[in-house]
Structure 1
Amino acid sequence: MHSPTRLKPLLATLLVLIICFPSTAQPIDLRTATWVISPNVPSPMKETAPAVLTEEIAKRTGITLKNATGWPKGNAPVIALVLASDKTLLSRNVPVGDGNGPEFKPEGYRIVTETAGGNKTIWIIGADTRGILFGTGYLLRHLKMSKSFVGRPLLELDGPVDLATSPAYPIRGHQLGYRSTANTYDAWSVAQFDQYIRELAIFGSNAVEGIPFHEDDKPSPHFKIPAREMRIKMSEICQKYDMDYWVWTPATFELTDKTKRQAELDLHEQFYKEVPRLDHIFFPGGDPGDNHPSEVLPFLQELQSRLVKHHPKAKMWISLQGFDTEQIDYFYKYLETEKPAWLQGVVSGPGSPPMAETRYRLPKQYQHRQYPDITHSVRCEFPVEKFDQAFALTLGRESVNPRPFAFAKIHAKYAPFTDGFVSYSDGSHDDVNKVLWSMRGWDPQADVHGIMEEYCNFFFNHVIASSAAGMIEGLEQNWKGPLAENGGVEMTYLNTSFYRRMEEERLENNWRWQMLVFRAFYDRYTRMRLIREQELEKQANAILAAGDKTNLAGTMDKALVMVNKADTEPTQRDLRRELTELSDALYTSIGLQTSTEKHQPRNPERGVVMDFVDYPLNNRWWLADEFEKIKKMTSPDEQLARLKTIAFWENPGPGSYYDDISSVAKGPRVKTISDDATDVAWWDNGKSRKRLSTQLFQREPELDYDNLDPRARYIIRVAGEGDALLRVDGRRLSPIVYNKESETFKEWIVPLSLTQDGKISVTFDGPEESQLNWRKQSKISDVWLLKQP
């Protein structure tokens, strides 16, 4: 670890600046504060809210606030926790409004500072028990706290404050599945779940979703206790924090099997008996599962009859994921004719009908909940747009993925059609996204940067809150556009490195901080590798371009030595070593499983980014395989021709153009954006040896060309798989070459009449392939416009 000694003068300067230029508001010093709570607050919140307040302050300051049985004398400050229905507390009037303010609405609260009788009082006034907890969370998010700030503990609130608020959406939760497919949760203890659920509540979440049964037969090697025990413990934790406890529970068998159906009903009822709190059952219609709603709905009705015997207020939900048009229509007809009172609402998740359509078709008496995938980056509901292939191949589907601005826009787009959300999450790597969704679910107009500052103030400290928020936002920007051109990656890395050294004594074991550092370092390492490895390939192609028939084998060997310098002379060795240390530190601190060799993940796709940290970012694996094929050719002319094709693949010469269809770096003429072109990057368990451009595709790309020579003849060449129904300026052309296999070519002559104006538009019709699995459908990966001599 680096010593912070060299940075002490700089840190001292920062502190002097903060002291010399204070906030205009007079802060309230709470180091000697006591707390009081209304006797009308019921248990367990009467114990929970003060515990959250005092324990979180003690962790950060070393100060333990004391409970006062009477209003303290003198000017000692007081934190008072009361219900909006309280008129007085210890003979002091509670400063509430006329009964119409947000603090009287479900889960709402008012925070108001008051000076009376010499005491400065911070009132936390909750509409109900949740309001008291959420108000406590607001206070904790806005306190300045430190164990040593200019030689003394710091605990203060910028005052005065008078704020009242209530949530816009009643459902604000996250799935925390204690199962082997999670990349983190399966390694957690009961205490870690308790702390994490507490922290979600501090940021406005009111629900947790568990995974009850289907993982029991495949336990994780990381389990601290059996899954059955943990789901009971999670229910107890939700009871403690007054959080709704949901469970996600599919039927992965045929419901027409009476024996299995009865066993499933009995399994559910046993679970219902065991847990002290259960609020909602969410049954995904067809993801997983393959049952018709005519079987699903009666099954859920019977489930609900058993559920309410043990939890009378619990609700039943269904999603239409995986249902076809006939099944969806059947469901709505059932609602129309049967009007089931046992059903609470519909959940919309990946594979569901459009959310607006669902809200419009769903009768008003039923609620509508979103199930957003905030945990994945590719092969998912909300893939990163224009994701550089280098990240898709290395960070992949499930990496540390703060996307605050993207998810703020996604939430704003879909939330108005819903009553809220419980997100899909498979680990701690999406922690920032959970906080963003929780707080925008409370206030859809909340400033994104402000949310990030509150996150960093609470989890790190007030000194670096703004800078750390900028780091998080920088990580999101790192994923936008061509990586090699993104100099912001370097700046995010430098800023993170600086604050890491400055704050390492306080933050080195903070897993949220470790995640930010890890991503910043990983991004920079990947960028530096990409730049170098692409340059090595250019040099290798130059060797191939200069080759002739006299020494084909030597040319190939020389080119391979050049491109393989990525392995024999690796770059950024110190940074690579730090990534290993950070990944191991994250496994120790939070159980994040980033290495198959060390951390025993379920499979490499589950966030195991250290398995792919050195995946080739040039075509050296493909070249090695191609050279072996070429060496087996019997004709030197064919061998040389193939080498020339490889050499000029991405550089077809003056007046000609090449586009890697779904590469943000190498497709400048492509107008369309694939929904998720990086899906095929997971061939061969993420270790595909295919040419990099072949691992990206679109089905119906559109390209525009201009500044063409009106006197020249052009040929369009396409690589991909299957069919390519090409049009130029809307006119369907007939091919002169039409190979359908991967990495073979199709070619069309462009009529001179179409290039007379110096420009053309190229489009593709989609072939009818609905009978094929999507992996077998036609793909277009590379397009050339070749000017003929």
Structure 2
Amino acid sequence: MYRPKIMNKWDAVLKICIALLCIPSTLYAGEIDLSGSRLFVSPSIKSPVKETIIRVLQEEVRKRTDIHLGITDGWSGSPVIALALSSDGVLNGKPLPEKTRLSLQAESFSVVVEEDNSHPIVWLIGADERGVLFATGHLLRTSLLADKQILFDSSNAIQSAPEYPVRGHQLGYRNTANSYDAWTKEQYEQYIRELVIFGTNCIETIPFDNTPSPHMKLSKEEMNRHISTICKNYGIDYWVWTPANVDLSDESLFRTEVKKHSDYYRECPHLSHVFVPGGDPGDNHPRYVMPFLKAIAAELEKYHPRAGVWVSLQGFSDEQIDYFYHYLETENPDWLRGVVSGPGSPPLSDTRYRLPKKYMHRHYADITHTVRCLYPTLRWDQAFALTLGREPVNPQPFYYAGLHDRYAPFTDGFLTYSDGAHDDLNKFIWSRKGWSMEEDATGITEQYVRFFFGTKPDDRVADAILGLERNWDGPIEANGGIEMTFLRWQQFEEAYPRLQNDWRWQMLLLRAYYDTYTKRRKLYEQGLEQEANKLLGQAPEMGAAKAMKLALEKVNEADLVNIAPSLRKKIDGYCDALYHSIGLQTSVEKYQASGAERGCVLDFVDYPLNNRWWLSDQFEKIGQMETEAEKLSALEVIAGWENPGKGSYYDNISNISQSPRVKTTVYDATDVAWWDRGKSRKRLSTQLFQNFPQLLYEDLDPKARYLIRIAGYGDALLRVDGERISPTLYNKELEEFKEFPIDRRFFQDGKLEVSFDEPEESHLNWRQYSKVCDIWLIKIY
């Protein structure tokens, strides 16, 4: 009779152990403690990128946690962070997770968590060296890194590939940059590292700008070689922006320029792409630009055979654009890699549709400027435009995420235009959006906060940053969020003293103080002007001289009483701190900025937000008039400038708080003038304008008589309801008037639509184009 064999307990244990060994490693769920982990690095990862990845992981973890990640060649005894290529297959007896053995596109990666012998393994697996680098960035961005603690949530395990192959930023070491020119080698590497951690794969510099800077610690040649070497060590692309500022039709100058390029290529340790803008700067016809590009491409191939040459059509006329495309059609050059679209280029969609598919297309997006630029800040209050100017600290995550998504489908990616550290968050928004359009501005901002600040999640610092963006949306007077956002930043300032020396934290606090100071100052100073206008309205009773004296004293109270001195002191303090922490030059005199337009917010922090300078000049002219009647007439115009009377309307064309009937939004960035180095004494409304505004008036009196009055410069080719109207008064100088009587037949329905034809001014610089600053619809009776 058969009797089953009875196992002793040790036989049973042995069989269970054998069975467990046959079970593959399982996916680990939940939060993983990597505080005691070590690094296992595949020998397949090539140098120097391998050493760079190890250094990035070790240094970034240590500075946040005080934990040193050692190197191991085994799998047992502690948690392991394993760096590998998808082609590795098996590492030291352990197979890579099955799901990562697929053929992956360039730069893609997988982050997989396994449990092995009761210890987790976090796999950072790339399709190539860049893929491992970006997997490392994902781990750093999504982990909780605190004192003596590394926590990674397994829900952040991911398999990811970039949507766009070009994701970069221009970091030109030159005098016009408001901070880069003060950086050390170490600061440049740290900044490039941080951009790479967020998905950046290329950096562009400007090697041929010879303008000296008092801030430079190294020669431009040495720093540009250093940046090239950094890009080589990180395995990312190195671009150069090299405008041709000479007359290429001159054969001697042509050869000299080619030699300059050749000499640079020979000395450059690592070079991936050369970008020559067709214009801005440069003024050469493509019949000379294209042979020049062909010549430098031949030189480039000698030293960097895999590098590409790019060109932009910036500043090209229609004839020049047609010439360029005809050249591509007939010559079909293989030496040209692609076309760049930047300020002054044809629309990105037009370029992509006309460009043969063999050529790539790159966006040269301006994320650094707020006015007089490719993408001006929309709905910006005049007070901010006149004080913060063109290069303030400008975190605008939603605005720039939207711009990226709008234009990205027409491109192979971007390399943004930046002129300093002030646009820092915008770079990280674009880097992540270039990796995945599915990422949103809020989520990217939260990654930014987690990685750079390590603040408590419940403090919602990301929301406070988004609040700074909302500060700039619409009229200051109607934006109650400015004070609420300021209160939140004051609380953070007190709660996080450890961040007081962090330059990113300093920039955000500077903006919170500056915005609030400007709001309080505008409300105060505009109130003074309203009181002054009431005094001018009493001029017939008290006399012109006395009215002007009292009105000027009233508006000048703004110079005698600072409405928020504690905020003003903080602004000074943060500007000084930023100069010493990151080299941010917020003043020409104090910090030797290259120009007042280059981020000098400290020089304009107290720029008048009422018309006291203009009134002083006007009163001086009025005082010289011969008769009292003339003086009273002039004062009547000033007193009623913004209040033309019952039934009449006034619009300050580009002032968001004083243009309710204006239906157009300025996209060409010429809406804020730059006169007298930003310290113009013109009326504030004169410094804002549109070239061809459109307005809609409603609820008009069909039995009345109306007159349209316009102040601006040059021509104003007025149309009402689509019909051209003739003027009875037509002065072309600033702050002089044009007047157009309006026939009753246009407003019998109670409405008027106003528009303007474009005068022929193609022979002029855009700064000389005709402008419309103020419009009145005046009810005569």
Cα gap change, 1:732 to 1:255, in 2 (>3 Å): closer
Structure 2 partner of 1:143: 143
Cα gap change, 1:666 to 1:678, in 2 (>3 Å): farther
Look up the SS of the partner of 1:345 in the other structure: strand
Structure 1 partner of 2:70: 66
Structure 1 partner of 2:224: 231
Tell whether the 8 Å contact from 1:681 to 1:688 is kept in structure 2 after alignment. Answer: no
Does the alignment pair 1:117 with 2:109?
Answer: no
Cα distance in 2 for partners of 1:98, 1:322 equals: 48
**Alignment gaps of 5+ in structure 1:** 1-23, 148-152
Structure 1 partner of 2:346: 353
The offset of 1:621, in angstroms, is: 0.3
1:501-516 aligned within 5 A: 501-504=494-497, 506-516=498-508
The offset of 1:98, in angstroms, is: 6.8
Look up the SS of the partner of 1:276 in the other structure: coil
Tell whether the 8 Å contact from 2:432 to 2:439 is kept in structure 1 after alignment. Answer: yes
Structure 1 partner of 2:628: 636
Cα gap change, 1:769 to 1:160, in 2 (>3 Å): closer
Structure 1 partner of 2:6: none
Look up the SS of the partner of 2:543 in the other structure: helix
Look up the SS of the partner of 1:493 in the other structure: helix
After superposing the two structures, state which structure 1 stretch, 591-600 or 744-753, moved more: 744-753
Tell me which structure has the larger Cα radius of gyration. 2
Cα distance in 1 for partners of 2:747, 2:588 equals: 54
The offset of 1:72, in angstroms, is: 3.0
Cα distance in 1 for partners of 2:352, 2:699 equals: 48
1:39-78 aligned within 5 A: 39-73=43-77, 76-78=78-80
The offset of 1:220, in angstroms, is: 0.7
Structure 2 partner of 1:29: 33
Tell whether the 8 Å contact from 1:183 to 1:601 is kept in structure 2 after alignment. Answer: yes
The offset of 1:29, in angstroms, is: 1.4
% identity of equivalent residues: 55
Cα gap change, 1:558 to 1:44, in 2 (>3 Å): same
The offset of 1:351, in angstroms, is: 0.8
Look up the SS of the partner of 1:97 in the other structure: helix
CA displacement 1:725-779 (0-9 Å, x = unmatched): 2222233332222222211222222222333322222222222333333233221
Structure 2 partner of 1:573: 565
Cα distance in 2 for partners of 1:683, 1:617 equals: 16
Structure 2 partner of 1:83: 85
Cα gap change, 1:343 to 1:329, in 2 (>3 Å): same
Tell whether the 8 Å contact from 2:100 to 2:110 is kept in structure 1 after alignment. Answer: no
Does the alignment pair 1:716 with 2:708?
Answer: yes
- Equivalent position to 2:699, from 707, 710, 714: 707
Structure 2 partner of 1:448: 441
Structure 2 partner of 1:769: 761
Look up the SS of the partner of 1:381 in the other structure: coil
Does the alignment pair 1:205 with 2:205?
Answer: no
Cα distance in 2 for partners of 1:550, 1:490 equals: 41
Cα distance in 2 for partners of 1:460, 1:690 equals: 43
Structure 2 partner of 1:171: 166
- Equivalent position to 2:312, from 292, 304, 319: 319
1:493-508 aligned within 5 A: 493-504=486-497, 506-508=498-500
Tell whether the 8 Å contact from 1:677 to 1:698 is kept in structure 2 after alignment. Answer: no
Structure 2 partner of 1:393: 386
- Equivalent position to 1:738, from 704, 724, 730: 730
Cα distance in 2 for partners of 1:374, 1:135 equals: 26
Cα distance in 2 for partners of 1:498, 1:486 equals: 20
Look up the SS of the partner of 2:269 in the other structure: coil
AA in 2 matched with 1:241: Y
- Equivalent position to 2:540, from 530, 533, 548: 548
Structure 1 partner of 2:95: 93
Tell whether the 8 Å contact from 1:389 to 1:678 is kept in structure 2 after alignment. Answer: no
- Equivalent position to 1:335, from 318, 328, 331: 328
Tell whether the 8 Å contact from 1:38 to 1:81 is kept in structure 2 after alignment. Answer: yes
Cα distance in 2 for partners of 1:309, 1:539 equals: 73
Structure 2 partner of 1:128: 128
Cα distance in 1 for partners of 2:98, 2:277 equals: 43
Cα distance in 2 for partners of 1:356, 1:687 equals: 39
Look up the SS of the partner of 1:536 in the other structure: helix
AA in 1 matched with 2:130: R
Look up the SS of the partner of 2:492 in the other structure: helix
Cα distance in 1 for partners of 2:342, 2:757 equals: 30
AA in 1 matched with 2:743: P
Cα distance in 1 for partners of 2:383, 2:648 equals: 26
Cα distance in 2 for partners of 1:772, 1:359 equals: 29
CA displacement 1:325-375 (0-9 Å, x = unmatched): 111111111111111111111111111111111111111111111111111
Tell whether the 8 Å contact from 2:471 to 2:482 is kept in structure 1 after alignment. Answer: yes
Cα gap change, 1:162 to 1:50, in 2 (>3 Å): same
Q: TM-score, normalised by structure 2?
A: 0.94
Tell whether the 8 Å contact from 1:113 to 1:161 is kept in structure 2 after alignment. Answer: no
1:200-349 aligned within 5 A: 200-213=195-208, 215-216=209-210, 218-349=211-342
Cα distance in 2 for partners of 1:237, 1:363 equals: 34
Q: TM-score, normalised by structure 1?
A: 0.93
| Superposition CA RMSD, Å | 1.6
The offset of 1:204, in angstroms, is: 0.2
Tell whether the 8 Å contact from 1:246 to 1:281 is kept in structure 2 after alignment. Answer: yes
Does the alignment pair 1:378 with 2:371?
Answer: yes
After superposing the two structures, state which structure 1 stretch, 657-666 or 549-558, moved more: 549-558
1:639-678 aligned within 5 A: 639-676=631-668
Structure 2 partner of 1:14: none
1:419-434 aligned within 5 A: 419-434=412-427
**Alignment gaps of 5+ in structure 2:** 1-27
Structure 1 partner of 2:14: none
Cα gap change, 1:83 to 1:535, in 2 (>3 Å): same
Cα gap change, 1:298 to 1:676, in 2 (>3 Å): closer
CA displacement 1:401-453 (0-9 Å, x = unmatched): 11111111111111111111111111111111110111000001112111110
Look up the SS of the partner of 1:532 in the other structure: helix
The offset of 1:258, in angstroms, is: 2.8
Cα distance in 1 for partners of 2:720, 2:349 equals: 36
